[in-house]
Homo-oligomer: A and B are copies of this chain.
Amino acid sequence: MKIKLDELTARLSSVQIIVLYYLSAIIISTFLLMMPVTLQEGVKLSFIDALFTAVSAVSVTGLSTISLHETLSYTGTFILAFILQIGGIGVMTLGTFVWLILGRKIGLRERMLIMTDQNQSALSGLVYLLREILVLIVAIELIGALILGVHFLNYFPTWQEAFRQGLFASVSATTNAGFDITGQSLIPFANDYLVQTINILLIILGAIGFPVLIEFREFLAQRKKGHFRFSLFTKIAVTTFAALLVAGTVFIFIFEANHLLTGKNWIEAFFYSAFHSTSTRSAGLSTIDINQFSTPTHLLLCLFMFIGASPSSVGGGIRTTTFAIALLSVISYARGNSTIKVFKREIMPEDIVKSYIVIMTAFMLCGFSVIFLSFIEPSFSLMEILFEVSSAFGTTGMSLGITPELGTVGKSLLMTLMFIGRIGIFSFLFLVRGKPKNEKFHYSKERVIIG
């Protein structure tokens, strides 16, 4: 049996194995969520709803077909937080630690798995990297939980309840899961700017990408020695992230100025705009019923959710760097340049093609999903369907409220989108990818008229 398993894994690509791990995590989570101890007394969870919640939790999306508030027991919220943690940090990171704890040597094959999961292209220092990620994320979560817990003493009757809520909120924000156990997302804190600021910071730390966090830590450690150079990836990821935050805030403000923000003062208007702009990176939390936004804001949120978070982060979507490189490519072309020069480096031509392939595949995937859903669920509007599809693919979890009302086919489609959004389009393409064929010979090249 051992030998057969080895033979099987040898045949599968590392991406396929990662996917198997994720699928296992989903199946185990489904059973965890269906355990009586997880649920409130008298509550029954159907298999499809448990599966949907499991996929949503492992992919840290936060879309839900049920009210967690009315479903999960006290213990259940800890179990859910644990699943979010697994999903957020990545099954492989955790798997590595199990191996380490069991004293098993990390071999080349395992390193390659981790490399694929974290999207790294260098093998060395990976185990060290993973340990750092885990320590960093847990530290961030604990600090967040502590601050929120202390502050929640103003809201909740007992300190146990305050810290339970604080811990869950911190884990949910840092992993960008966006689940809530209050039943109302962060709407009760619409005027509590401390809670919102902490949440914004936690969301950013989770979604900015692990490599960025690691580099910043190294930068801080080596600051005195000087000469620290950030990687091109970190520069592009952080710049794009910041640009999206600012653009989102500005446009939500413009679109809602004469609508939702009428009569609100500057601070209120700023927080409503900035919070939802940040939330689209992939958290999906909200401080307002987002149905109240107008159509242009809904469309903007769709676009931003589709773009998603940094690669190697807790988020989904096509990823910020993918968007940035495609955009830079268009700008370079329009300027008449044949190469992309940015931060005194040049982008590799194959990375440009890779980003376009990701975007094209994502568009086809989401476009097909929208057309298919509008066919099988004719009672929902185009806006509702587009929003839910973008939210699932971006593993954002914002919702205009139709997810609980979808049929089994619709729920399955959203589950698929959340899963692909989490593993990323590239891993998805690798999944279906075969061995290269017909690479040994070449036909002559011929020009084709384009555009």
Q: Which residues of B contact A295 (CB under 8 A)?
A: 374-375, 378, 382
Interfacial chain B residues near A347, Cβ < 8 Å: 445-446, 448
List CB contacts (< 8 Å) of A357-377 with chain B.
357-361, 363-364, 367, 370-372, 374-375
A78 partner residues in chain B, CB cutoff 8 A: none
A167 within 8 A of B: no
Q: Is the CB of B449 within 8 A of A211?
A: yes
Docked-complex contact B300 and A371, CB < 8 angstroms: yes
Q: Are B330 and A450 in contact (CB under 8 A)?
A: no
How many chain A residues touch B (CB < 8 A): the figure is: 87
Q: For the complex formed, measure the closest distance between the CB of A169 and the CB atoms of chain B, giving whole angstroms.
A: 29
A2 interfacial by beta-carbon distance below 8 Å: no
Distance between Cα atoms of A330 and B368 in the complex (Å): 15
Measured in the bound complex, the distance between the Cα atoms of B332 and A438 in whole Å is 11
* Cα(A311)–Cα(B450), bound, Å: 7
Closest approach, in angstroms, between the C-beta of A224 and any C-beta of chain B? 26
- Closest chain B residue, CB of each to CB of A233: B448
Smallest Cβ distance from A326 to chain B, in angstroms?
5
- A424: B residues at CB distance < 8 A: 451
B382 near A451 with CB under 8 A, answer no
- Of A3-11, A314-322, A398-406, the one contacting chain B is A314-322
Interface check A232, CB cutoff 8 A: yes
Inter-chain CA distance A447–B439, complex, in Å, is: 24
Interface: A294 (CB within 8 A):
yes
Residues in B whose Cβ lies below 8 Å from that of A375: 255, 294-296
1/0 contact string of A307-336 vs chain B (CB within 8 Å):
000011000001101100111011001111
Contact status B339-A442, CB under 8 Å: yes
Taking a contact as CB atoms closer than 8 A, the residue among B119, B255, B311, B446 that contacts A232 in the complex is: B446
From 57 to 90 in chain A, residues with beta carbon under 8 angstroms from any chain B beta carbon are none
Residue A383 is within 8 A (CB to CB) of chain B in the complex: yes
Binds B, one of A91-99, A129-137, A427-435: A427-435
Task: Report the stretch among A41-49, A280-288, A348-356 that lies at the interface.
Answer: A348-356
**A223 located at the interface, meaning its Cβ lies under 8 Å from any Cβ of chain B in the complex:** no
Q: CA separation between A64 and B214, bound complex, in Å? A: 57
User: Which B residues are CB-close (under 8 A) to A370?
Assistant: 299
Which B residues lie within 8 Å of A300 (CB)?
371
Which residue from chain B places its CB closest to the CB of A319 in the assembled complex? B451
Closest B residue to A354 using CB positions? B450
A26, chain B: closest CB distance, angstroms: 21
The smallest C-beta distance from A336 to any residue of chain B, in angstroms, reads: 4
CB distance from A428 to the nearest CB of B (A): 9
Question: How far, in angstroms, from A437 to B341 measured CA to CA in the complex?
Answer: 11
**Cβ contacts under 8 Å, A346 to chain B:** 442-446
Nearest CB on B from A92, distance (A): 16
Determine which of B294, B318, B322 lies in contact with A378 in the assembled complex, contact meaning CB atoms within 8 Å. B294
5 closest pairs, A vs B, by CB? Answer: A356-B356, A426-B451, A358-B451, A296-B375, A336-B436
Q: List 12 A-B contacts (CB under 8 A).
A: A233-B446, A321-B449, A326-B360, A327-B360, A333-B429, A334-B429, A336-B435, A344-B443, A346-B442, A356-B359, A382-B383, A426-B450
**Residues of A at under 8 Å CB distance from B?**
119-121, 209, 211, 231-233, 236, 255, 294-296, 299-300, 303, 311-312, 318-319, 321-322, 325-327, 329-330, 333-339, 341, 344-349, 351-361, 363-364, 367, 370-372, 374-375, 378, 381-383, 386, 424-426, 429, 432-439, 442-451
- Apart from A336-B435, A355-B451: 5 A-B pairs, beta carbons within 8 A: A295-B382, A329-B353, A347-B445, A349-B349, A351-B448
